[in-house]
Chains A and B, each alone.
Chain A
Amino acid sequence: MADDISINRMQAAHPLKLGGRAFSSRLFVGTGKFSSNEMMRQAVDASGTQLVTVALKRAPLDGKKDPFADILDFLDPEKTLILANTSGALNAEEAVRLARLAVAAGFPKWVKLEIHPDPNYLLPDPIETLKAAEILAKEDFIVLPYINADPVLALRLQEAGCAAVMPLGAPIGTNRGIETRAQIEIIIEQAQVPVVIDAGIGRPSHAAQAMELGVDAVLVNTAIAAAENPVETARAFALAVEAGFAARRSGLGAMHTRAEATSPLTGFLD
């Protein structure tokens, strides 16, 4: 289709370099919460993503096929990098163990570090996340930690060897957008590694806004999976990410809260 060629034009021209790979889609997609694995597969396809996250707790960890935990059968590792996440881990020890098991089970040596001991808002534990990141980075994992929007923590994780940082815009599943905007802006300003907004993005406009702010990528799950029509919603997110990224690359005009004065204040100097 003609429109598919142009959909990621700006992103294809400026691919995201992350963990030694280049991604011409800056939309990452989570695979939980879908009404079926088949629906998930179609939505992933429609999103044009090249990176999907999979909760290790939902996959078989012994490397064997399991028809009752077959989420991986619906993903094509040729088209998308499968990024295992450690969701379910309550502390560094559990997350590290899970990450190592995943590699033994045949996952790529990439890990989305998710440690949320709080089961209600699934907010990440900064202390355990840093501990686990230090261990896994030393073992040559490509570590992408899910964190609260804490600029100093982002720097500490960068120093620990993380390949990117993934601050939240709002708690997982809330669809509330980038409520942590002020902190995210500081992270973008200071970080040398890519910044990926990981949670809270509930609408395509939030994704576009994130890209305009200058984040390197966004990760969307609930907003696609829980939508009435996940496939069309995935496509809408893809368009929004390209729009926001292209706008950022093209130079946005400054926003003003009031009209510019028509009579210049410094005209008397001419």
Chain B
Amino acid sequence: MQTFSEFLRASDFSTPLARAHSATPAQINAALHAEKFDTLEDLAALLSPQAAPLLEPMAQRAQRVTRAHFGKTVRLFVPLYLSNACVNNCKYCGFGTRNKFERTTISPEEAERQVEILAAHGFRSLLLVSGEHPKFANQAYIEDCITRALKHMPSVGLEIAPADVEAYRGFVAAGADSLTAFQETYHEPTYLEMHPSGPKRDFAYRLDTQQRASLGGMRRVGLGALFGLHDWRFETLCLAAHARWLMKHCWRSAVTISLPRMRPAAGGFSPEQKNIPNDRQFTQLICALRLFLPNVGLTLSTREAPQLRDHLAHIAVTQMSAGASTEPGGYSRCLKDRWEHTTHDNGEQFGVADERSPREVARALREGGLEPVWKDFDASLVK
């Protein structure tokens, strides 16, 4: 069986990449009015600086496509960070081994207690997040957390270290329905530079995570690139290629794409500004991705500011986290009737920009004419 890493390494992105940096009006026009996008070159044309003046018609079209496929709805979920113990040393991440702070792994009992509170605040879709650590975040621990979470949540997804097919089968059997893994960057030399040590240094193994998860029975697989590490246009082309490849080779799993832009994190990593799309470019890339991948869920996290999130939900974004804390046990101050979480402590992965409570996020969506969907899955489908 071919793997995506083999496909990527054998692919030549020079033509679409050149177009993404410089497209002719004819190429942009053809792409914008294409009934169906067939090639990465079409996507590239819409990512080009020359397409920027056409952002409004792109957004109009992206909105129509989004409404046809997803309706006037946005799915809400919440991440629960289980552990910031990590054996990797990603240069840009607050959890990296070089950052000295007391590591926390919450107990499965504490995880369940927090899930219960998150459920009281409306969440019906949970994402369990963990750093990579064979001792603390091992298979039995994750499965225990899934089982406990399912007592209070109808949908539990995972964003954890890449694992093998057998492990994914175990997580699915425990009741997990999605697996997300960010590639961070699809540019191999940059990837190796950013991941100097730890198991994450294996570029190909990480690239093939979604494929293994799909083979293990995950119904949804999530991709993402961390915008800021390398040329954002290159990353977008690769994300799109990855999604298309998965849709062909792992057709049973729904693909979603997360779109994190770099935020300040502990450790003081400073990305090159030119690698981070500004708000206008970010909107452009989201519209272009929507037109290229009409059925793919696009996710925006609380890294982004409230106003931008609310606007992008009207154009193309279909899933959002809300009220997120990015440190283990970050909801310990929440009560069932009061929303407050620990923030800006040392153990968070990155700072959030949208600090609104879930209720406030839902209200903003409603006021904008979108239905916040809390429940869109039921674990009784799985087990």
Contacts of A118 in B (CB 8 A): 251-252
- B72 touches which one: A58, A59, A226 (CB < 8 A)? A226
Task: Bits for B354-383, please: 1 = Cβ < 8 Å to A, else 0.
Answer: 000000000000100111011111101110
Sort chain B's interface into a size bin: 20 to 34
List 21 A-B residue pairs with CB atoms under 8 Å apart, sorted by A's residue number: A32-B71, A32-B73, A35-B369, A36-B369, A36-B371, A57-B376, A57-B377, A58-B373, A67-B122, A68-B124, A88-B381, A89-B381, A94-B382, A98-B381, A117-B251, A117-B252, A119-B220, A119-B255, A173-B69, A174-B68, A175-B68
- B67 touches which one: A56, A59, A97, A226 (CB < 8 A)? A226
Q: How far is B68's CA from A174's CA once the two chains are assembled, in angstroms?
A: 7
Q: Are A90 and B219 in contact (CB-based, < 8 A)?
A: yes
Contacts of A117 in B (CB 8 A): 251-252
- B245 part of interface (Cβ distance < 8 Å): no
Task: Bits for B125-167, please: 1 = Cβ < 8 Å to A, else 0.
Answer: 0000000000000000000000000000010000000000000
Task: Bits for A144-181, please: 1 = Cβ < 8 Å to B, else 0.
Answer: 00000000000000000000000000000111000000
Contacts of B376 in A (CB 8 A): 57-58
Q: How far is B71's CA from A175's CA once the two chains are assembled, in angstroms?
A: 13
Those 6 A-B pairs whose CB atoms lie nearest each other, nearest first: A33-B71, A119-B254, A35-B72, A69-B375, A68-B374, A120-B295
Contacts of A247 in B (CB 8 A): none
Q: Are A88 and B371 in contact (CB-based, < 8 A)?
A: no
Q: Are A57 and B124 in contact (CB-based, < 8 A)?
A: no
Q: Which residue of B lies closest to A55 (CB)?
A: B376
Contacts of B34 in A (CB 8 A): none
Contacts of A88 in B (CB 8 A): 377-378, 381
Q: Give the Cβ gap from B375 to chain A, nearest Cβ, in Å.
A: 4
- A101 part of interface (Cβ distance < 8 Å): yes
Task: Bits for B283-294, please: 1 = Cβ < 8 Å to A, else 0.
Answer: 000000000000
CB contact list, B51-75 vs A, under 8 A: 67-73
- B247 touches which one: A32, A90, A120 (CB < 8 A)? A120
- B299 part of interface (Cβ distance < 8 Å): no
Q: How far is B295's CA from A120's CA once the two chains are assembled, in angstroms?
A: 6
Q: How far is B248's CA from A119's CA once the two chains are assembled, in angstroms?
A: 12
- B253 part of interface (Cβ distance < 8 Å): yes
Q: Which residue of B lies closest to A60 (CB)?
A: B375
Sort chain A's interface into a size bin: 20 to 34
**What does DSSP make chain B's interface, helix, strand, loop or mixed?**
loop
CB contact list, B85-100 vs A, under 8 A: none
- A61 touches which one: B68, B255, B380 (CB < 8 A)? B380
The answer to whether residues A66 and B375 also contact, given A34-B72, A35-B369, A226-B71 and a CB cut-off of 8 A, is yes
The answer to whether residues A61 and B378 also contact, given A35-B370, A69-B124, A120-B247 and a CB cut-off of 8 A, is yes
Q: Are B252 and A97 in contact (CB-based, < 8 A)?
A: no
Q: Are A37 and B68 in contact (CB-based, < 8 A)?
A: no
Q: Give the Cβ gap from A129 to chain B, nearest Cβ, in Å.
A: 16
Q: Are A94 and B381 in contact (CB-based, < 8 A)?
A: yes
Q: Give the Cβ gap from A35 to chain B, nearest Cβ, in Å.
A: 4
Q: Are B375 and A68 in contact (CB-based, < 8 A)?
A: yes
- A225 part of interface (Cβ distance < 8 Å): yes
Contacts of A173 in B (CB 8 A): 68-69
Q: Give the Cβ gap from B360 to chain A, nearest Cβ, in Å.
A: 15
Contacts of A94 in B (CB 8 A): 381-382
Q: Give the Cβ gap from A55 to chain B, nearest Cβ, in Å.
A: 8
Q: How far is B247's CA from A35's CA once the two chains are assembled, in angstroms?
A: 28
CB contact list, B246-275 vs A, under 8 A: 247, 251-255
Q: Are A222 and B381 in contact (CB-based, < 8 A)?
A: no
Q: How far is B251's CA from A94's CA once the two chains are assembled, in angstroms?
A: 18
Q: Are A119 and B295 in contact (CB-based, < 8 A)?
A: yes
Q: Are B71 and A222 in contact (CB-based, < 8 A)?
A: yes
Most buried by B among A88, A101, A117, A118: A88
Q: How far is B294's CA from A173's CA once the two chains are assembled, in angstroms?
A: 11
